[in-house]
């Protein structure tokens, strides 16, 4: 989302009020549909799937968690000398 302006878009203002406001902005972004930038016009466009950012992050977390488990299993298997 490229709609942040003023204080909200600054990365170096760490006042309590600004941090609370940024938390609210983040929570609102989670509810919005996943979007991508159209490279032809530079505008954000929602995906046809209708998936929210929250759903997409949950799906990504599951994928990353499974990948980590698989890597841990493989490293244990290799470290026991069972794999050439």
CA distances 65 to 5, 12, 51, Å, are: 35, 32, 20
Domain holding 57, by residue range, is 6-82
Q: What is the pLDDT of residues 39-50, one digit of tens each?
A: 999 999 999 999
Is this prediction's pTM over 0.75? no
Residue 51 lies in a domain: yes
* Number of structural domains found in the chain: 1
Q: Is 54 exposed, middle or buried (0-12, 13-18, 19+ CB in 10 A)?
A: middle
Residue 38 lies in a domain: yes
Residue whose entry in the numeric block shows the structure tokens 């909200």: 8
Q: What is the pLDDT of residues 32-80, one digit of tens each?
A: 999 999 999 999 999 999 999 999 999 999 999 999 999 998 887 776 6
């Amino acid at each position: 989302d490229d709609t942040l302006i003023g204080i909200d878009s600054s990365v170096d203002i760490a006042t309590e009020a600004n941090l609370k406001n940024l938390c609210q902005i983040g929570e609102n972004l989670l509810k919005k549909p996943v979007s991508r930038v159209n490279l032809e016009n530079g505008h954000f466009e929602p995906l046809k799937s209708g998936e929210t950012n929250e759903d997409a992050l949950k799906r990504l977390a599951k994928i990353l968690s499974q990948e980590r488990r698989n890597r841990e299993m493989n490293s244990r298997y290799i470290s026991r000398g069972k794999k050439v």
